[in-house]
Amino acid sequence: MTISERLFEIMNEKKISVPELGRMTGISRQTIYDWKKKNTNPGADKIMIICEVLHITPEELLTGKTDAVLDHIDDSGNDEAAEIQFVREYQELSESKKKRLRAYMNMLQNTKE
């Protein structure tokens, strides 16, 4: 499944139309329609915006995989426990994955709320 196919599947699940996604992201409707019609994928600059407004992770959009650990932490309501779990999991990552995570965190810090 391509990224654009996954995007439209997620939009369908969340009952979000192309015009709504355009308003939410600032991406033109024509661009979004082109992704579907021409079976092309959004660029990296658009993926973070899309993920933010759809409340999904980039991994979910890119691979279709959801992170059950992340879902559990989000629902726990215990920030301290979530932080401890995050640090433990971070420490177990390979150096390349740590680097990717730091880059993702940097992008999140630079995104508008």
**Other Cβ atoms within 10 Å of 39 Cβ, number:** 10
74, 42: one domain: no
53, 14: one domain: yes
14, 55: one domain: yes
Residue 69 reports pLDDT greater than 50: no
25, 58: one domain: yes
Q: What is the pLDDT of residue 16?
A: 95
56, 86: one domain: no
Residue 96 reports pLDDT greater than 60: yes
Interval 10-54: pLDDT, tens:
999 999 999 999 999 999 999 999 998 988 899 888 998 999 899
How many domains does the chain contain in total?
Answer: 2
92, 75: one domain: yes
CA distances from 48 to 17, 45, 91, 112 (A): 19, 7, 25, 11
Average model confidence (pLDDT) for the chain? 84
d(CA 65, CA 40): 20
Looking at 49, 66, 83, which one is the last position of a domain? 66
60, 79: one domain: no
Q: What is the pLDDT of residue 109?
A: 81
**What average pLDDT score do residues 99-112 get?**
82
Q: For residue 95, give its domain range.
A: 67-113
55, 98: one domain: no
11, 55: one domain: yes
Residue 89 reports pLDDT greater than 80: yes
Q: For the chain, what percentages of helix, strand and coil (3-state, to nearest 5) are there?
A: 75, 0, 25
pLDDT band at 67 (very low <50, low <70, confident <90, very high): low
* Buried b / exposed e along 74-112 (16+ C-beta atoms within 10 A): eeeeeeeebeebeeeeeeeeeeeeeeeeeeeeeeeeeee
11, 58: one domain: yes
Taken in order 97, 99, 100, 106, the sign of the CA dihedral is positive
- DSSP conformation letters of 23-64: HHH---HHHHHHHHHTT----HHHHHHHHHHHT--HHHHHH-
